[in-house]
Amino acid sequence: MIEGRWFPQGADISQAIALRQAVFGRGRDSLDDLAQQVVVYREGAPVCTARLRWEDGLFRADGVCVLPAERGKGYGDLLIRLLLYKAATHGGREVAVLSPAAAAPFFLRCGFVAVSQGDPVEMRASVDGPCAGCRGCGD
């Protein structure tokens, strides 16, 4: 079974932190106290995570990661859909993410558009429309 689970501020986010540590080599930071975390599970095992926070009138997502062995199975697609849906249900109009240039194609497939150049690239996606603007990431 595949499921996504949200963790509000103040909840135990140790699984989200462990995933970030495994993928990025970094753990908890000060933004964790300002964000909600989402973890996607396959058969009860965490496979990907991200966090979402409200900052300067905009929903911002970061820490978006999928375990290397689980990439290409659609978990990243589900993760992005969960982020966009959460923002939409909380009155958001778009979600912004700072993406490493190498990951930008993934976010482009998910309906994000680049609003800056360089590395990292600031990207934004509308939460309006079917699947909150997501066209299917394929990850």
The model's pLDDT over 14-70, given as tens digits with 9 standing for 90+, comes to 999 999 999 999 999 999 999 999 999 999 999 999 999 999 989 999 999 999 999
CB 118 within 8 A of CB 85: no
CA distance 112 to 107: 5
**CATH number for the domain formed by residue range(s) 2-133:** 3.40.630.30
CA distance 90 to 13: 21
CA distance 73 to 138: 7
Most distant pair of Cα atoms in the chain: their distance:
39
Which H or E element spans position 59? strand 58-66
> In this structure, are strands 121-126 and 94-99 parallel, antiparallel, or unpaired?
antiparallel
CA distance 37 to 65: 12
- DSSP state for residue 81 in the 8-state scheme: H
Confidence band of 128 (pLDDT split at 50, 70, 90): confident
Q: Is the pLDDT at 83 greater than 80, yes or no?
A: yes
Return the ∠ at Cα 25 (arms to 139 and 122), rounded to 5°. Answer: 55
pTM of the model: 0.90
What pLDDT, on a 0 to 100 scale, did the predictor assign at position 65?
96
